[in-house]
Structure 1
Amino acid sequence: MSTIRKACHADSPRLWQLRIDAILSGCRGHYPESLLKRWTEGELTTEFVNHVRDHFWVIEQSQRIIASGTIDLDSGKLDAIFVCPSAMGTGAGRKMVTHLQQLAVDAGLAQISLEATLNAAPFYRRLGFKGETTSLYHSPRGFSLECMVMHKLIRKAAGTCSPSMNVL
């Protein structure tokens, strides 16, 4: 059985490694090896540790973190959705997205969005996300990678009316 919980400072090293493993496993074949190397090289930073503490959620199973994710409840943007390679295809990613979506609903948001890696776009489409526009994600590490800008309506916006016809 797995549980979702807010990440804590001590989770940072495991989440750093989860990120690396998920990128190297899931993105291989969709991006050049040289880009994957740049994306995953380097050491755990204080900035990442603070981001984990402040924003990350994790799914834990048998005292092992198998998935992560974040949501900005001001913008509705999901990010850092990573799944351990051995847990890919088991529903952990779906469970994390569903949890983040519920946080957005609870916060009163009408839409959520994300920038999907090319390999993950079909997964997000199966979860109801729309979008075919490719964009470039510009990493603070000095490289760019192609991604898909996607969004999902999660509730009808307040004050939205059905179209009507005015007859004069």
Structure 2
Amino acid sequence: MLEIKRAHQGDCRTAFDIRRQAIRHQCIGAYTPQQLDVWTAGAAEDGYCDLMGKHFYLGCIQGEPVATGMLDLERREIGAIFVLPGFMQRGIGKRILDYLECLARDLGLEEVQLDATLNAAHFYRRCGFVGEQTAIYHSPSGLQLACIPMVKALLRS
């Protein structure tokens, strides 16, 4: 059973490793090997740990982190949804996304946005996000990647 819990500063290396493994497994073919190398280079301490201060969550199975997800309230943006390769295709990413959407709704947001990787755009469309135009994502590290900006209205229950 998946448990979703708030990440703490001490979780940043684990979250960074989940991210690295997910990108290297899931994004092959959508981006060049050079882009994947640059995207996954470095260490958690190079800025990723700063994200733990936001609404950053870990998805855990039997106490072990297997997925991540984040809500950036200021930007009204969902991000960092990554699942370890051995746990993909089990609905974990969808559960993390649903959790973050509920959190956003509870915190008063009427819509959320995200920059979908090229390989993940279909997943987000199935989850109700809208967006077709390709854009360039500029990462804090200077990497530029093609992405698809998407938005979803959050309906009140």
Q: TM-score category by the smaller chain?
A: over 0.9
Deviations for 1:23-54, whole angstroms, at most 9, x for unmatched residues? 00110111000010011111221632232244
Match in the other structure for 2:133: 133
Taking the aligned partners of 1:109 and 1:76, their CA distance within structure 2 comes to: 7
What does 1:112-127 align with in structure 2 at a 5 Å threshold? 112-127=112-127
Taking the aligned partners of 2:25 and 2:87, their CA distance within structure 1 comes to: 11
Give 4+ residue runs of structure 1 displaced > 6 Å after superposition. Answer: none
Taking the aligned partners of 1:78 and 1:18, their CA distance within structure 2 comes to: 17
| Identity over aligned pairs, percent | 38
CA RMSD of aligned residues (A): 1.4
Match in the other structure for 2:3: 3
How much has 1:140 moved relative to structure 2? 2.2
Deviations for 1:38-88, whole angstroms, at most 9, x for unmatched residues? 111112216322322443111110121111111122332101111111111
- The alignment partner of 1:28 has SS state of coil
What 5-or-longer segments of structure 1 have no aligned partner?
157-168
Taking the aligned partners of 1:103 and 1:58, their CA distance within structure 2 comes to: 14
Match in the other structure for 2:150: 150
Moved more, 47-56 or 11-20: 47-56
Taking the aligned partners of 1:50 and 1:68, their CA distance within structure 2 comes to: 15
Match in the other structure for 2:103: 103
- The alignment partner of 2:11 has SS state of helix
> Structure 1 pair 73/151, CA: closer, same or farther in 2 (3 Å)?
same
Taking the aligned partners of 1:144 and 1:75, their CA distance within structure 2 comes to: 19
Match in the other structure for 2:15: 15
- The alignment partner of 1:130 has SS state of coil
2:48 matches 1:55 = no
Moved more, 16-25 or 40-49: 40-49
Q: Retained in 1: the 8 A contact 2:54–2:72? A: no
Match in the other structure for 1:90: 90
Q: How many aligned residue pairs are there?
A: 156
Moved more, 57-66 or 41-50: 41-50
Deviations for 1:96-145, whole angstroms, at most 9, x for unmatched residues? 00000001111121111100000000000110111101110012222200
What 5-or-longer segments of structure 2 have no aligned partner?
none
Kindly name which structure, 1 or 2, has the bigger radius of gyration based on alpha carbons. Answer: 1
Match in the other structure for 2:77: 77
Taking the aligned partners of 2:44 and 2:129, their CA distance within structure 1 comes to: 31
Match in the other structure for 1:29: 29
TM-score, normalised with respect to structure 2: 0.93
TM-score, normalised with respect to structure 1: 0.88
- The alignment partner of 2:150 has SS state of strand
